[in-house]
Amino acid sequence: MVSRIIELEQRQAGEEDRTTRFVESARGTWTVVRRHRVILFVTMALCVLAGVIYILLSTPDYRATASVEVEDVPAGAAGAGAMQKPVSAADTESMMQTELEVLRSRALAEDVARDLALVGSPVFFQGMDARRPAQGQGSLTQRQVEHEQVIKLLRDNLQVELPGKSRVLRISFVSADPALSARVANSYADSLIRADLKRGFESGVQARRFLLGELDGARKDLERAERDLAVYASRTGAVPAEAVTDENKKSDGKDAKPDAAPVPEGSTAARLAQLNAFRAQAVADRIAAQKRWESAKAASAETLPEVLGNGAMQQLMAERAQARAALVEERQFRKDAHPEMREARARLAALDDQAESMANTIRASLRQEYEVAAHGEKQIASEIAALEGDARVERGRDMQMSMMSRSVETYRLLHDSLLQRYRDMASQAGFQAGRIQPLDRAAVPTTPFAPHAGQIMLVALLGGMLLGLLLIAARHMFDDAVTSADTLAERVDLPLLGAVPTTGDQPSAPDIFAPIAASLQLASVAGLPRSILVTSAQEEEGKSLTVNALARALARLDKKVLVIDADMRRPVQHSLFRVTATRGISEVLTGQGKVEDLILDSGVAGVSLLPCGAVPPNPAELLSTPALDALLGAVRDRYDTVLIDAPPILGMSDAQLLAAKVQVTLLVVEWGRNHHGGLRVAVERLRRAGGSIVGAVLTKAHGRAYDYDYHRGG
């Protein structure tokens, strides 16, 4: 729980820090803009003035607009009555983009130029505010050059607009002549409509040529199919399906059903159907005869239905029954040896033999019937087998005939369809409307289209504001000129100890540096620093004059001051104090003299001078020796402070070497001088060298630059 509270507090603290940084950044930006508001206002005023001048000097342009409507399928087009494929949004967009490109094309511009006779017309060039070519160029004649310029002017000043997802095209033309703008816009619309009609007519001609070629091919295919069918029918002796169908129609007296398959009489199929019926009857007869024969073969002859149903057999059986009865009756009265008994038995035996013979004859007739039925069935089966082979051949032939007949019918339908389509297109040729229809004609504009004064002034105002802000940002980034304490703190983060006016090459009055001297006494806890290095970023910023005047001001405060002229490249302190010096710090550092012997009286009470002496070839090598530490140690306790005049920081390393040896450094900055980033570099170099910069003195100040002003930011 505690950790979560701590995390929330840290998050709130982070958000507060970000808010604080943002507020500070915004406040700093506003301060910079306010400080350089003159740049902003001047830039805006100049841009607005430029806009006004542009409006006054611009030639007014007039824009005339015509509009046309683009349809998917032109009314009256060939095939328009048929079902049309729905047009998708992507197809519509592609079609409209195509029309836009057609409008921008060179061919349409040339058509407009021919229609209005613009080539050779001085009125067109006057209306376009362009110069008419007076002579040819290279291999081109004057008229060819003029033609190219007319086409270029037409295409450059044409404006085509497609509002939203509509099918309306707005065609606009801009020129200095309102009547010319209207004429050219209407001519563009008319040329677009004519071009569409021409494309439609040419496409119709091409379509008719294509259909004519397809129709000729279909006719040849139909003739070839009919010829192949006739040759096949004559070779095989088959009858085409069409002839068979016509025959059946005539014979039946009514149309046959579409799914009925007529069978010609006497054909193999008809004979096969008849033999199949006969075979069924023969099989039935054979089965019945076989049953009768099998019954006759297994049963007694007297019990056979055929025997019982035979009249002669019945009569014979009746006679045999009477003979048997008579024999039984005679046997009662006579013995077997009696002649009449023998005669009766003989007559009975004769009757039995006769009955048996007749029964066998009937049984034999049943067997013969069975064999005849079986033979008839076999004959019919063999004939059916033979006809089935012929039927297969005939079915293949009929199938081939059917396929060839269908091919003939297909080619005939294709031929008739193409012929009808060709007749429709031929009847509609020259009467179809185009896809592009006129909607609005361009009227002569009464008010100029350009220049737009309001828009130009708004753009000029916003552009001037943006340009002014950019100039302020550039000045803030690349201009490190210091004119006040705020700008000094803003540029290099240093306090301003004071500002002094321009005095030329003469030292400033000590009274001017009195506040600066007083400020230096508060620069450290111990009071006035014992050693102070005075330098500047660049030359001629007034550092030597500042050293001289500051020494005088400190002397007035009863301070014992030693001035060391360490600028061994361009020493001037002896001239400012008006003393003659032939020897100085260079001799001390090289061991050619003692510091006590070379310190001079400057002529100012409380101020001593250690001049430069002879100018060495490489001062940086002398300043990097331990002799400098010994020098400073020797004079530190004898004076309240030591002021050292050092060379400029940029381009030399002397100031960095000296800054590392002294207690504090005082930076001299020329008022309003643009160091182009050199001031920041100089301060950064001093700090990297270990120097402690106590502040800066603003020299050569002008006007109210060093006055305290709430509104100007210092």
* CB-count burial class (<10 Å; 0-12, 13-18, 19+) for 701: buried
Confidence category of residue 617, pLDDT binned at 50, 70, 90: confident
Residue 80 is predicted with a pLDDT of 46
Whether 78 has a pLDDT exceeding 60, the answer reads no
Confidence category of residue 644, pLDDT binned at 50, 70, 90: very high
Q: List C-alpha distances in Å: 205 to 179, 193, 199, 229, 247.
A: 39, 18, 10, 36, 45
Mean pLDDT computed over 289-316? 69
Q: Which CATH architecture has domain 62-79+87-209+434-440?
A: 2-Layer Sandwich (3.30)
Residue 708 is predicted with a pLDDT of 37
Q: List C-alpha distances in Å: 294 to 290, 375, 662.
A: 6, 17, 156
Token pair for residue 226?
């009919």
Confidence category of residue 257, pLDDT binned at 50, 70, 90: very low
- Kindly report which listed range (281-285, 383-387, 473-477) carries the lowest average pLDDT score: 473-477
Mean pLDDT computed over 521-545? 87
Close Cβ partners of 562 (under 8 Å, ≥ 6 residues apart) = 599, 607, 608, 609, 610, 635, 638, 639, 641, 642, 643
Confidence category of residue 306, pLDDT binned at 50, 70, 90: low
Residue 68 is predicted with a pLDDT of 93
Top-confidence residue, 207 or 528:
528
Close Cβ partners of 480 (under 8 Å, ≥ 6 residues apart) = 491, 492, 674, 675, 676, 677, 678, 679, 680
Top-confidence residue, 441 or 418:
441
3-state DSSP assignment of residue 87: coil
Mean pLDDT computed over 556-564? 92
CB 362 within 8 A of CB 301: yes
Confidence category of residue 76, pLDDT binned at 50, 70, 90: very low
CB 316 within 8 A of CB 347: no
Domain 481-701 has CATH 3.40.50.300: yes
561-573 pLDDT, tens per residue?
999 999 988 898 8
353-406 pLDDT, tens per residue?
777 777 777 777 878 888 888 888 888 888 888 877 777 777 777 788 888 888
Tell me phi and psi for residue 694, to 5 degrees: -80, -25
Instruction: DSSP letter for 539, please.
Output: T
Q: Which of 43, 27, 46, 51 is nearest to 471 (CA)?
A: 43
Reported pTM: 0.45
CB-side exposure of 254: number of CA atoms within 13 Å?
3
Kindly state the percentage of the chain with pLDDT values over 70. 86
Residue 388 is predicted with a pLDDT of 77
CB-side exposure of 46: number of CA atoms within 13 Å?
10
Q: List C-alpha distances in Å: 357 to 274, 349, 361, 710.
A: 41, 12, 6, 168
